[in-house]
Amino acid sequence: MLEVIFLGTGGIMPTRERNVPAIALRYKGEIILFDVGEGTMRQMNAAKLSPMKVEKIFITHFHGDHYLGLAALIQTMNLWDREKPLHVYGPKYTFEFVQHFLNSGFFRPGFDIHVHELGETRLRFGDYEIWSFKVEHGIPALGYVFKEKDKRGKFLPEKLREYGLREGPILGRLEREGQIEWNGRIIRLEDVTGPRRKGLKVVYTGDTEPCERVRLFAERADLLIHEATYLNPEDRGESYHSTVEEACDVARRANVKLLALFHRAFRYTYEEYVREASKICESLGVNFVIPRDFDVITFKSGSWEQGNILGGGK
């Protein structure tokens, strides 16, 4: 099961209704953070998410609304006597900016912090990978892909009978080794299992104007979290951001299963976003949600559901 928890869904500055960007992915007991805008520690407390379970933080870029919560998060970890290392990932200049952050004030962390600068990189972590890709925001900026490893197909009872196999340690050995010798025959795992099942794919753009790399990396994603700061190009002006229509168009062309419209500008109400997205995305045949702070999208058994981590489903 994978949970995508929206700790902050606004952009540029916090409002009474929504905080600035922070997303938590909860997967097999681990919490992975994507962006840590100011107030992220408070949002985690409200959502009952422990910072001690965070081992990796991925920052899309160094505009304040995406990283100013990092210091508070690290200081809380230090206050709670953290010993495990923390890994912070980001685009060019991440090492320089994080070092400045850690050297400000009368504070030094008592645990190791490893800083990694990424380009278009593929990182492997056990049962999942995280890919970074460049986006267009006028400064060094990245988007990220969380990709769960593909899973083997289920054992087929009729095939097991055909080869004289039964449940027990022998199937565990076959799964570990990929093939075994049994009753004088070589049996491969694919001989007795169904088609492989695709692992979950979640894509987060960070801040970007529309660009082809987003579409390429989002291809057939289960969830695309695409910034949609503005409702129309006139409001965007010269900034490197996307509109609702542009985000919906990317989702359509990338054949994503679900689009989450993210990084809403403070000048608009939630209802305005709903009206605009309903008009555009529905005309394009795009399945979409507009998450509020503390909304959670849960993927389980090949389907998803939306709820709120503070108060049930929606």
User: Which segments are annotated as binding site for Zn(2+)?
Assistant: 61, 63, 65-66, 137, 207, 263
Could you give the CA distance from residue 45 to residue 166 in angstroms, rounded to a whole number?
48
Q: Are strands 22-27 and 30-36 parallel, antiparallel or unpaired?
A: antiparallel
Task: Note the pLDDT of residue 314.
Answer: 42
Helices 244-254, 270-284: crossing angle, 10 deg rounding: 30
Task: Note the pLDDT of residue 246.
Answer: 95
Residues belonging to the active site: 65
User: Which segments are annotated as binding site?
Assistant: 61, 63, 65-66, 137, 207, 263
Q: Which residues contact 4 (CB under 8 A, 6 or more apart)?
A: 23, 24, 25, 202, 223, 225, 260, 296, 297, 298, 299
Could you give the CA distance from residue 298 to residue 303 in angstroms, rounded to a whole number?
8
Q: Tell me the one-letter amino acid at 242.
A: S
Q: What's the pTM?
A: 0.88
User: Residue 139 corresponds to which tokens in the numbers above?
Assistant: 């400064």
Task: Note the pLDDT of residue 173.
Answer: 86
Q: Tell me the one-letter amino acid at 110.
A: G
Instruction: Go through the chain and tell me how many residues it has.
Output: 314
Q: Among 186, 190, 192, 188, which residue's Cα sits nearest to residue 167?
A: 192
Task: Note the pLDDT of residue 167.
Answer: 77
Could you give the CA distance from residue 245 to residue 78 in angstroms, rounded to a whole number?
43
> What pLDDT tens digit does each residue of the chain (314 aa) get?
899 999 999 988 898 889 999 999 999 999 999 999 999 999 999 999 999 999 999 999 999 999 999 999 999 999 999 999 999 999 999 999 999 888 888 778 899 999 999 999 999 998 999 999 999 999 999 999 999 998 777 788 887 888 888 777 888 888 787 888 888 788 888 888 877 778 999 999 999 999 999 999 999 999 999 999 999 888 888 889 999 999 999 999 999 999 999 999 988 889 988 998 899 988 889 999 999 999 999 998 778 989 998 875 44
Beta strands (DSSP E) in the chain are: 2-8, 22-27, 30-36, 54-58, 86-90, 113-117, 122-125, 128-134, 142-148, 179-182, 185-188, 201-204, 223-227, 259-262, 288-289, 295-300, 303-308, 312-313
Straight-line distance from the first to the last Cα atom of the chain, in angstroms, rounded to the nearest whole number: 19
Contact assessment for residue 113 and residue 62, using Cβ atoms and an 8 Å cutoff: no
Task: Note the pLDDT of residue 153.
Answer: 73
| Beta carbons within 10 angstroms of residue 267's beta carbon | 12
Q: In what order do the strands lie in the sheet with 30-36?
A: 113-117, 86-90, 54-58, 30-36, 22-27, 2-8, 295-300, 303-308, 312-313
- CA 226 to chain centroid, in Å, comes to 11
Task: Note the pLDDT of residue 313.
Answer: 44
Task: Note the pLDDT of residue 238.
Answer: 82
Domain boundaries, the chain: 2-151+197-313, 157-191
The b/e string for 197-209 (b: 16+ C-beta within 10 A; e otherwise) is: eebbbbbbbbbbb
Give the CATH number of domain 2-151+197-313: 3.60.15.10
Unique residue bearing structure tokens 């939306």: 306
